Amino acid sequence: MRAIVIGAVESSRVAIEAIAAAPGWTIPAVVSLPTALAARHADFVDLAPAASAAGAQMLRARNVNDAVTLEAIAAMRPDYIFVIGWSQICGPAFRALLPDRIIGYHPAALPRLRGRAVIPWTILAGEPITGGTLFWIDEGVDSGAILAQRFFHVAPDETATTLYARHMAELGAMLGQALGPLAGDDPPRLVQDERHATWAARRTPADGELDWSRPAADLDRLIRAVTHPYPGAWTATATFPLTIWRAHRDPDGHRHRATPGQVIAVADNTFSVMCGDGAALTVTQWSSPDGAMPRQHSFLKLPGKGRPNA
Q: Which CATH class is domain 205-287?
A: alpha beta
234 with 300: CB under 8 angstroms? Answer: no
95 with 1: CB under 8 angstroms? Answer: no
Number of H helices, E strands in the chain: 7, 14
Distance CA 258, CA 13 (A): 48
Model pTM?
0.93
What is the H or E stretch that residue 93 is in? helix 92-97
One CATH from 3.40.50.300, 3.40.190.10, 2.60.40.10, 3.40.50.170 for 3-200: 3.40.50.170
Q: What's the confidence (pLDDT) of residue 285? A: 97
95 with 73: CB under 8 angstroms? Answer: no
> Domain residue spans in the chain?
3-200, 205-287
- pLDDT tens, the chain, 310 aa long: 999 999 999 999 999 999 999 999 999 999 999 999 999 998 999 999 999 999 999 999 999 999 999 999 999 999 999 999 998 999 999 999 999 999 999 999 999 999 999 999 999 999 999 999 999 999 999 999 999 999 999 999 999 999 999 999 999 999 999 999 999 989 999 999 999 999 999 999 999 999 999 999 999 999 999 999 999 999 998 889 999 999 999 999 999 999 999 999 999 999 999 999 999 999 999 999 999 999 999 999 888 664 434 3
Q: What's the confidence (pLDDT) of residue 305? A: 61
Neighbouring C-beta atoms of residue 134, cutoff 10 Å: 26
